[in-house]
Structure 1
Amino acid sequence: MDIVLLILGFIFMLVGILGSFLPILPGPPISWVGLLLLHLTKAIPPDSWFLGITAALALVVFGLDYVIPAMGTKKFGGTKYGVIGTTLGLLVALFFPILGPFGIIVWPFVGALVGELLNKADGKTATKAAFGSFLGFLTGTFMKFLIAIIYFGLFISKAWNYRLELFPFLS
C-alpha cells in the first residue's frame, strides 16, 4: 500500500506543478495532497506541524492567486474585463501554442488588452491596465509555481530519506 500512496503522491506533485500554470487546477493545494499521501504511508512518521504549516501556506497562496491579479489590474486602472482577458489569453496560449513558449507571456497580455478595449477604454488606459493585469497574473503564477516546486522538493527529500522504510527490499 505504501508504494501505491507514494506513486499517487508523486502524480499529485506533478499535477500540482502543472496546476501552477493552468487556471482550472489549484496547483499548491494539489501538491499538498501529494505531501499528505506521502505522510499516510507507514514509512513516513506523521508530522502534524509539517502538514499544518504546508496546508496553511498552500491555502494562502491559493487565495492570493485570486487577489493579486485584481490588485494589479486596479492599481493600473483596469477592470474585471482585463482579468478575464488575461485568463482567456492564458487558455489560448495553452491550447493553441502558436508562439511556442513565448505564448505563455504574450497571450495573457493580449487578452488583457483586448478585454480592456472591449470595455471601451482608450488605447493608453487599456495598455496600462493590461500591463497591471499581466503583472498580477505573472506574480500569482510565480508564487504558485514556487510553492509547488518547494513541495515537490520536500516530497522527494522525505521519500529519499525514508527510502529503506518505503522499499525494504533495497536493503
Structure 2
Amino acid sequence: MDILYWIIIGIAFAISFIALVYPILPGVLFLAAGFIIYGFAFSFEPFTPFFIIVQVILFISLFIVDYVGNTYAVKKKGGSKAALWGSTIGLIAGPFVIPVAGILIGPFIGAVLAELLFQKKGLKAPVSIGIGTVLAFVGTTLIKVITQAIMIGYFYFQVL
C-alpha cells in the first residue's frame, strides 16, 4: 500500500509541473495535495512549524511571481489592462487551441489583439507588448519550476 501512496504523491507533484504549461490546472493545489496525502498516508510528524512556514512562504511566492511578472511586463511595455486580460486569456486558451506552441503563442496573440481592439494603437506597440508578455511568462515559469523543485526537494528531505 505504501507504494501506491508514493505513486499518488508523485503523480500530484508531476501534475503541479504540468500545470505550469497548462495554467488552467491548479498546480499549487496539486503540490499541496501531495504533502497532505503524505500526511494522511504516513504521518504529519515531519511537517514541523518551520517546514510549514517555509512552504507557505514559497506557496505565496508562486502566486506573487505569476501576478507581478505579467503585470510588470505589460506595464513596462506601455500596455493597458486590456493587454493584461488578453494575455491571461491567451495563456489559458492557447495550449488547448494550439497544443504545445499555444503556451507561448496564446499570450502573445491575446495581448496584441486586446491592444489593437481596445486601445486603437498601431501594430508596433501591441507587438512589443505581446513579446513582453511572452518573455515574462517564460521568466516566471522558470522561477516557478525552480521554486516548486525546491519545495518538493525540501519535502523529501523532511520525510526521508
Q: Distance in 2 between matches of 1:150 and 1:28?
A: 13
Equivalence for 1:165: none
Change (3 A) 1:144 1:54: same
1:46 maps to amino acid: P
Q: Distance in 2 between matches of 1:51 and 1:96?
A: 38
Residue pair 2:115, 2:126 contacting (<8 A) in 1 also:
yes
Unaligned runs of 5+ in 2: none
Equivalent pairs: percent with the same residue? 30
Shift of 1:137: 2.2
Equivalence for 2:107: 108
1:67 equivalent to 2:68? Answer: yes
State the Cα RMSD in Å: 2.8
Equivalence for 2:54: 53
1:108 maps to amino acid: P
Shift of 1:7: 4.0
Shift of 1:33: 3.1
Q: TM-score, normalised by structure 1?
A: 0.73
Q: For 1:22-37, what aligned pairs fall within 5 Å after superposition?
A: 22-37=22-37
Q: Distance in 1 between matches of 2:146 and 2:100?
A: 19
Write out per-residue CA displacement over residues 117-151 of structure 1, whole angstroms, 9 at most, x where no aligned residue.
11212212212222222222222222223323343
Q: TM-score, normalised by structure 2?
A: 0.78
Residue pair 2:95, 2:106 contacting (<8 A) in 1 also:
no
* Greater shift in the superposed pair: 149-158 or 125-134: 149-158
1:55 maps to amino acid: V
Q: Distance in 2 between matches of 1:43 and 1:78?
A: 49
Q: For 1:79-158, what aligned pairs fall within 5 Å after superposition?
A: 79-97=80-98, 101-119=100-118, 120-154=120-154
Q: Distance in 1 between matches of 2:23 and 2:152?
A: 19
Equivalence for 1:169: none
* Greater shift in the superposed pair: 110-119 or 16-25: 16-25
Q: Helix, strand or coil: the match of 2:21?
A: coil
Residue pair 2:47, 2:158 contacting (<8 A) in 1 also:
no
Q: Distance in 1 between matches of 2:78 and 2:113?
A: 15
Residue pair 1:81, 1:115 contacting (<8 A) in 2 also:
yes
Q: Distance in 2 between matches of 1:153 and 1:19?
A: 18
Q: Distance in 2 between matches of 1:24 and 1:103?
A: 13
Q: Helix, strand or coil: the match of 1:101?
A: coil
Shift of 1:41: 4.0
Unaligned runs of 5+ in 1: 162-171
Q: Distance in 1 between matches of 2:53 and 2:37?
A: 14
Equivalence for 2:19: 19
* Greater shift in the superposed pair: 38-47 or 104-113: 38-47
Residue pair 2:22, 2:103 contacting (<8 A) in 1 also:
no
Q: Distance in 1 between matches of 2:36 and 2:28?
A: 12
Residue pair 1:38, 1:155 contacting (<8 A) in 2 also:
no
Shift of 1:5: 4.6
